[in-house]
Amino acid sequence: MSFQKSLRLSLDRLGVLVGKDGSVKNEIEKRCNVSLLIDSKTGEVIINTKGDITRSQPFKAMDIITAIGKGFSPQRAFKLLDEEIVLHIIDLRDYAGKSQNSLERIKGRIIGLKGKSRRLIEELTGAYISVFGHTVSIIGRMEDAKLALDAIDMLASGSAHKTVYNMLQRARTKAKMDRFKLWESNE
């Protein structure tokens, strides 16, 4: 039994997927036990399992390739090999409709001046965020990614930045208190 899946990436992200001398492609193939066929003209990437199917991780390979295609560095994308790390992709057209101006405004709100907003959300949640095309992608532990997802949803819906940062700060404080209580109860 074998598995085959086709993905399409933006042509400008194919170089990152392949890596210098094929290093990223080879690393994905080795760590996920798959083979990748990359069409540099169309941006199509075909994932095939190889060898022992029980050792293959084609869905992890799909997540890593998708993350790289959505603007993440290979180093951040490889974090998806950890079972506790997830990838969320938000389509900003759900908030902006068909208006290109609204889409750009929402992306600007999420990124912030010189990347400040995106950076603060990353620091307060522990998740990684990439704004690429009409999507925002998040890599992180389930609870961190959910918190970042909530923050992005609030910003895309028009909430004030201060409101979003306060919500993230409260969640961070609560998580620290929960860890402290757990640590105390183990004594």
Q: Which tens digits make up the pLDDT trace of 22-68? A: 999 999 999 999 999 999 899 999 998 887 777 888 899 999 999 99
Could you say which of 81, 103, 120 is where a domain stops? 81
* Predicted local distance difference test score (pLDDT) of residue 87: 96
pTM for this predicted structure:
0.88
* Residue 98 belongs to domain spanning: 85-183
- Final residue belonging to a domain, choices 52, 81, 110: 81
Claim to verify: residue 59 and residue 116 sit in the same structural domain: no
How crowded is residue 165: how many other Cβ atoms within 10 Å of its Cβ?
Answer: 15
Q: Are residues 106 and 148 in the same domain?
A: yes
User: Are 91 and 179 in the same domain?
Assistant: yes
Residues 108 and 68 reside in one and the same domain: no
**Sign of the CA dihedral running 149, 150, 155, 161:** negative
Query: Is 92:134 a contact under the CB 8 Å cutoff?
Result: yes
Alpha helices for 39-160 (secondary structure H): 58-69, 74-77, 93-96, 100-111, 116-125, 142-156
| Count of domains observed in the chain | 2
Is the pLDDT assigned to residue 93 strictly greater than 90? yes
pLDDT > 90 in the chain, percent:
79
pLDDT of the residue at 39: 92
- Regarding whether 137 and 120 lie in a shared domain, the answer is yes
Residues 93, 77 within the same domain: no
More confident call, 104 vs 1: 104
Does 179 lie in the same domain as 102? yes
Residue 136 shares a structural domain with residue 151: yes
Domain boundary among 54, 81, 108: 81
Q: Are residues 35 and 123 part of one domain? A: no
| 142/65 same-domain check | no
- Longest CA span, the chain: 61
In a shared domain, residues 49 and 137: no
Q: Are residues 96 and 20 in the same domain?
A: no
CATH number at residue 144: 3.30.1370.10
Task: Flag whether pLDDT at 179 surpasses 90.
Answer: no
